[in-house]
Each structure stands twice: as structure tokens, then as C-alpha cells.
Structure 1
Amino acid sequence: MSYASLIKTLGISIDSALLELALTHSSYAYENGKIPDNERLEFLGDSVLGFVVTGHIYSTNPTLDEGSLSRIRNAAVSAKTLAVAAKNIGLGEHLRLGKGELATAGQDKPNILADALEALIGAAYISLGLDAAKKIIDDFVIPLIDSADELLETSEPRTVLQELLKSANKGEATFEVTHEGPDHDRTFFANVVVDGSTLATGSGRSRKAAEAEAAIAALKALRG
């Protein structure tokens, strides 16, 4: 397989053997005589990614405390964020997947894409050094860290809501949750209650999703 278009997108020439390894999912490796897969490179890339992203978040958010910085970092390196970065690179079309994963559109699965991106970063680090790995991160991951507030609110809206209420000297938010429908098709509804009054509502396919939607709605209401 030719990786010319991928190399052009990345703007760096990773060693061809390492690049192919980074794109080799465990399902493909298993179906082809248990050849090496990308999991070791993923392990390395995860650490390099965390190092670079942590440095960026620390330097660009000088007023945030350790807890807030940690929450932003967790959102920035989540499978959801990394999958978007991988799609922007066009990584999915280059992945070597087993027949089972191909049949279920594995090239579009967030976890597979996120893992492959970390493996790619690891391959760049081994092949060309930290600057090359950092280039991938700077070009495709850092731009997704739009703002501290947005990342915090989408990753941990309940925590942000409680912190905002505390800073405004208001009471702590409580969540009243109900549900409708049978066990296999249940919808949850959440009310955010502050000082005895319902501030916002939300719904979702799980209790957690409903509470998150309600918390985001409450944050919008508080901020006008």
C-alpha cells in the first residue's frame, strides 16, 4: 500500500516500516499470522502526546488551577478528540484492519482511530524525534483545543456547573432523574435544581447523558 498521500498530509517522512506498523490494527495482525501490531507504538505515542498537550495547556492557561488543567488535558487527549484529529488526517483509509473490523466499518470507530493516531505519533518520535511527533500534535490535535471553557463544559459539565455556582455563592446543584420506557429502550430525564428551583432540564439514553445535557443547559442559563 502506498502512503504517499498520508505523508504529504503529515508533512514529514516517517520510516516506511514504522509507518506501516503504526497503521496495523491488532485484528489484521491476528488474521495474518500474529504479526506485530501498533499497540506498542500506541503506548509510546500516548506518553508523547500527553507531554506535548500538557505543556501547551499549562502555558496557555496561566490562571487555571491543577484540577481544571487536568480536566482540559483529559478532554484534549480523549478518544473523541483524537478521532476527530485522525479523521482530519484521513487516517482511516490507510489502516490495516482485519476482515471483521472492515465489515463493521472499523476505519470509522473512534477508539481505533484514536489508538492509530497515538501509534503514528509514536512512530514519528522513533523515526524522526520529538520535533516530528510534536508537529503532528501541533498541526492536528492542538487546533481542536479551542478554548478552556468549551472543553471543560463538554467533558465535565456537572463539575463546571458546581464550580460556577460556588463562585456565585449559590447553593449546590442537585439532579432529579426520572425515566420512561422499557429496559431495552429507556429514556432518562434530568432536572437541575438549585436553591429549590428547577434551573434546567435534559434528556438522554442514560442517566449520565441526561444529567450532562441538563448541566450544559444550566450553564447556558446562568451565563445568559
Structure 2
Amino acid sequence: MERRENLRDLEEALGYLFETPDLLDQALTHKSYANERGSGIRDNERLEFLGDAVLDLVVSHLLYDLRPPLTEGKMSKVRAFLVSEPSLAEVARSFGLGRYLLLGKGEEQTGGREKPSILSGAFEALVAAIYLDGGFDLAREFVDAVFRPLLEAEGPGGLDRDFKTRLQEHCQGRYGTAPTYRLVGEWGPDHDKTFEVEIRLGNRVLGRGRGRSKKEAEQRAAQGALDVLE
């Protein structure tokens, strides 16, 4: 009962009420949880597969409808950015998906609720759950509501470059120099490390970011720095 009440809060945040609540529950069930609980528990991997396809189609249609029209190459680059793991993980965080996930003990203990791969997969599974529950039109409305504001705020031209590239262009254009990145921490076992990176512009700290790889940490740090500078 408590689980269902918690998911009601999530449905309110999503702006979508499920006719079949079990689909939402499955979308949030990681394979580590299902493996620990045994048979009868369905994880979200098949939904993730379907949601990936639905996202590609809806985002492609959204980009196709933009005016002025984008070239095929531009649409491909922007779509790749929007449906990338870091982008989808950020969308998942905006809805607070992490706290609703069902994880196995191992994933729970190693920060699974914040892992980009798990969050992005859960969001793809969520899109599939909405598609199966309400049909393509409602799934399209949901995805459109998520990504259209981002396109309108950034413009397509701001979404086909990674955050490090955008930050470098911003700093060189405004300050005449490029930022530097420094690894300031790493912890965890070799197979599951977390890295923290700091960005500086001269003596000024622009931001810090954490990730499961140095590259991911740098991208997150650059994203945070852009939020401050822009």
C-alpha cells in the first residue's frame, strides 16, 4: 500500500496517471532486484528496449517539425544528444526517479540510485510503460512535454555539442582563455569507481562534477559551470 501511495506522488510529477499501475512498477524495477527476489518479478529491461525505440521516433518527429527546418545531419546530432545516457539520466533526476527505483542490495550499496546507466534505463522503461498503458499519442505528449522546453531554451544549435566543448567556447569567447580540469578525488573498487573533477578558469573554481568515469565527471562539471556562467 505504501509503495502504491509513493508511486501516486511520482504520477503527479509525471503528469500521467496509469490505468495499469503494474507497468509503472515494472519500469522502476532493476534486474538486480528481480534477480534477488526470484521468479515472478519482472524487471525493466524489455521495457527499456521498447522505450528506446519510442523515444527515438518521438524525438525524431519533434525535431522534424521544428521551424526553421533542420538538416538531416543536424537532426541526427541533436537527437543523439537528447537521447544520450547523460541527458536521459538528468531528465530522470528531474522527476526524482532514483528514489522510486527497486534495486538489489548490491546496487543499493554502491549508489545505484544515482548511476546514469540505471537512471537513463529507467526513464526509457517509463516511456515504454506509458506507451503500453495509454498508447502512442499519450507517450508522444509526455516525451514532447519533456524535451520541447529544452529545445526552446537552448535552441537546436546548443544541443549538438557536448558540455565541455560549449564551456570551452564560452570561456574563450568571453575571457580569452580555456578552462582547466583537475581530478580531485576518486573512490570505490576498481570495477565501480566514482571520480570527482574540478574546473578552474585561472584561480577561479567554476564547478565540480562526479561520475563513474573521468569523462563523465568532466561533462557534469562542465554542465554545472555553464549553468553558473550562462
| TM-score after normalising by structure 1 | 0.68
In the alignment, does 2:16 pair up with 1:8? no
Give the aligned partner of residue 106 of structure 1. Answer: 112
> What's the secondary structure of 1:141's corresponding residue?
helix
Counterpart-to-counterpart distance in 2, 1:70 and 1:81:
15
Counterpart-to-counterpart distance in 2, 1:78 and 1:121:
15
In the alignment, does 2:99 pair up with 1:93? yes
Counterpart-to-counterpart distance in 1, 2:13 and 2:69:
35
For 1:144-155, what aligned pairs fall within 5 Å after superposition? Answer: 144-145=150-151, 146-154=154-162
Give the aligned partner of residue 53 of structure 1. Answer: 59
For 1:116-195, what aligned pairs fall within 5 Å after superposition? Answer: 116-145=122-151, 146-154=154-162, 157=165
Counterpart-to-counterpart distance in 1, 2:164 and 2:101:
31
What does the per-residue CA deviation read over 1:22-43, in whole Å, with 9 as the maximum and x for residues that have no partner?
1100110111104321011111
2:62–2:144 contact (8 Å) kept in structure 1: no
* Unmatched tracts of structure 2, length 5 or more: 170-213, 223-230
Give the aligned partner of residue 175 of structure 2. Answer: none
What does the per-residue CA deviation read over 1:115-154, in whole Å, with 9 as the maximum and x for residues that have no partner?
1011011011111111221232122233233221211122
Counterpart-to-counterpart distance in 1, 2:149 and 2:117:
20
What does the per-residue CA deviation read over 1:35-83, in whole Å, with 9 as the maximum and x for residues that have no partner?
3210111111111111111111122154432122101100010111111
Number of corresponding residues: 179
Runs of 4+ in 1 over 6 A off after TM superposition: none
Counterpart-to-counterpart distance in 2, 1:56 and 1:139:
11
| TM-score after normalising by structure 2 | 0.66
Give the aligned partner of residue 84 of structure 2. Answer: 78
> Which structure has the larger Rg?
1
* Unmatched tracts of structure 1, length 5 or more: 162-204, 214-224
TM-aligned CA deviation for residue 89 of structure 1: 1.0
2:63–2:70 contact (8 Å) kept in structure 1: no
Which of the residues 44, 47, 50 maps onto 1:41? Answer: 47
> What's the secondary structure of 1:43's corresponding residue?
helix
Counterpart-to-counterpart distance in 2, 1:118 and 1:107:
15
